[in-house]
Amino acid sequence: MQIDRKSRPFPAQQKRTATSVEPRNEAAIPINPGPPQTATSFGVEDHRQRPERLLLQPNNLFHSFSNSPAPGIRRRAAFMKSHAYCPHPDHRQTRLALSPQDPENRKAERKSTQPPAFVNFECPDCGLPVYCTENHWMEDYESHSEICDTLRQANEDDHDLHSGRYFPEFEYPGPQYEEILVNMTNWDTYLYTREFKAINEDRPMRQATRLLTYPVTIASVIHELSPYNIRAGGRLTVEGLKSLSALRYNLHPPRSGAGPDIKGLRLSAPPVRIFILGARAESSIPRDVWIQLEYLFPRCAIHLIFIGPESMANRDAEFPLPDRTPANPFGGIVEDRLSSYTKITTFVEYYHTMHKANYFQPFDPYFDCFMLFHPGLGHPASVHEWEETLPQLLETKVPVICTGYTEWDMQRDKKWVEEKMAGEVDMLLEPGENRFRSLRWDLNDLDPGDLSCGNWGVWAFRGKRYEATMHD
C-alpha cells in the first residue's frame, strides 16, 4: 500500500468576516435537549418506508466499478481507466516515488523498459481497475493481495452510499446535558456518552466516522477531557499543556449566573476562533456535523473560519461567491444562522495574503487556534504553498493542530517544519495515531492501489515563546 496519497497540491488558506458572533446569554441554552436531528430534517429522503427505492440490498453491495448499478461509480471507473497508471514493475516510472512503500520504487529498482499504461483490467476479487492487463495482474498478484481485501471493503462502502438505503448513522443528537460528561477515550465511548443511536455493525460505523472525524478530532485535542495528556504515553508535552490550558479556559467557562431577565444580563466572552487552513472537502461537510462541536463546549461561542483557494470548490450553485467590496474585501461567505452559538465563515483566498493585510489580528492564545487537515506541509507538490504561511503561523504563538494520512506523512511534515523553522518551534502534541480517525478506507482515483484513512494521525506545534527574567 502506498503510504502517501497526495495526488494533487494541497493549497493553503482563507479568510474570515469582520462581524463577530453575538454575545451569548446562558439563559438561552435549552434546559432540555431537543429530539435528535433526523436525516429527513436535513433534506435527506427517508427510504425506510420506500423499499422499492433501494438500488442495492445490503447483501448485494459488491460490484465491479465498470458494471456498477450506480452511474456515479461507473463514471469513477472511467476516470480511473483514463488517469491511473498500472503499478506493475515492468513499466517505466511515471513520477518520483513519494514514500518508501510507493510502488514506483519497484519500477526504479528493476529499470523497467515498457512504457507506462493506464489501468484497464478489473480484479475479480476487489472489483477495481488495478492493472493494465490480466497478465500483469496475475504476475503481480502477491503484491496486490496485500491490499485486495481492503480495496473490496472500500468498494462495498462506496456502493453502500449509493444503495438508497436509510442511514440512521447520520442522525445526530442534540445538546448535551452538562451533568452528563462526554467520554473521549475512543469512538465507542464518545458515541455512547453523546447518546448517538446504537451502531452495531462495522459498515455503518465506518460511514459515520468518515464525517464525524473532522469536528471530533479538533475537540479531542482542545477539550478538557482530551485523551491526550502529559503522563507517560499521553503524547502531550509540557508546552502543549500550557497552550491548551489557555484555550480551555474559555472553551469551558464557569457559570456566570446569567438569566432571562434584566438582572440576569452578563457580559459574554468573544467567540473562540478555529481557523481551518487549506480547507477542501471539510468545508462542504453538512453543517449539522460541525454543530456537534458546539455541543461539546456549552456556554462557549465558536467561530469556524475556512480558508483556502479550494474551500468552495464545486459549491457555486450552493453559495455563489459574493463580490469583494470595501466592507467585505476578501469575499467572505458568512453562515451565522446555523445555531445560537456556531458561526461559519468561508474565504476563497490564501491565508498568507489575509495575514499580511492584518485581517484577523490580533491573535490571542486564549481564543484562537489553527487546524490543518492533511496539509502536506512537506509534500513536494504543496510545500511551496506553505513556505510563506508557516512563519506567519508561528508568529501568532497560538496552537497549530495538524493531521496526516499516515505515520510517514506526519513525520515528513514535522521534519519539514523543524528544518524550515529550526529552533523556533515548540512541539505541543507528538505525532501519533488519532483516536478519532476515520475508520473507513478511501480510494485515490488517480491511483486505486493508494488507500488512506482520513485524519489517521494528529500532532500539534506552536511558535516558540520566550520569557524574559530580570537580574539584579
**pLDDT tens digits, one per residue of 246-280:** 999 999 998 888 877 888 888 889 999 999 999 99
The answer to whether the bond into 362 is cis (omega within 30° of 0) is yes
Sheet of strand 272-277: strand arrangement: 333-335, 342-347, 302-307, 272-277, 368-372, 400-404, 457-463, 425-433
CB 95 within 8 A of CB 104: yes
pLDDT reported for residue 100: 77
Instruction: Please give the model's pTM, rounded to 2 decimal places.
Output: 0.86
What is the signed CA dihedral for 346, 351, 356, 359, rounded to 10 degrees?
20
* Cα gap 219→224, rounded to integer Å: 9
* Cα gap 163→147, rounded to integer Å: 24
* Cα gap 187→249, rounded to integer Å: 25
CB 214 within 8 A of CB 306: no
* Cα gap 54→66, rounded to integer Å: 20
* Cα gap 93→198, rounded to integer Å: 48
Q: What is the pLDDT of residues 132-169, one digit of tens each?
A: 999 999 999 999 999 999 999 999 999 999 999 999 99
Residue 325, SS3 per DSSP? coil
Q: What is the pLDDT of residues 389-431, one digit of tens each?
A: 999 999 999 999 999 999 999 999 999 999 999 889 999 999 9
* Cα gap 272→152, rounded to integer Å: 42
* Cα gap 394→115, rounded to integer Å: 46
314: left (phi over 0), alpha (psi -120 to 50) or beta: left
* Cα gap 311→14, rounded to integer Å: 8
* Cα gap 335→407, rounded to integer Å: 35
In this structure, which amino acid lies at residue 87? P
In this structure, which amino acid lies at residue 436? F
pLDDT reported for residue 52: 54
Cell of 428: 505541543
pLDDT reported for residue 43: 37
The predicted model gives 217-229 an average pLDDT of 97
pLDDT at 2 over 90: no
Query: If pLDDT is split at 50, 70 and 90, which confidence band does 226 have?
Result: very high
Percent of the chain with pLDDT over 90: 72
Task: Dihedral sign for Cα 350, 352, 354, 360, please.
Answer: positive
pLDDT reported for residue 98: 78
pLDDT at 203 over 70: yes
H-run or E-run covering 108? helix 104-110
Mean pLDDT of the chain: 87
pLDDT reported for residue 324: 92
* Cα gap 15→312, rounded to integer Å: 12
* Cα gap 97→82, rounded to integer Å: 21
CB 58 within 8 A of CB 207: no
Percent of the chain with pLDDT over 70: 88
Cell of 78: 472511467
pLDDT at 3 over 90: no
Distances (CA, A) of 42 to 3, 172, 397: 36, 11, 39
pLDDT reported for residue 321: 87
Residue 361, Cβ density class (10 Å: 0-12 exposed, 13-18 middle, ≥19 buried): exposed
pLDDT at 215 over 70: yes
Query: If pLDDT is split at 50, 70 and 90, which confidence band does 107 have?
Result: confident
* Cα gap 216→222, rounded to integer Å: 10
Query: If pLDDT is split at 50, 70 and 90, which confidence band does 109 have?
Result: confident
pLDDT reported for residue 465: 83
E strands present in 241-376: 272-277, 302-307, 333-335, 342-347, 368-372
CB 288 within 8 A of CB 36: no
**Higher-pLDDT residue of 43, 300:** 300
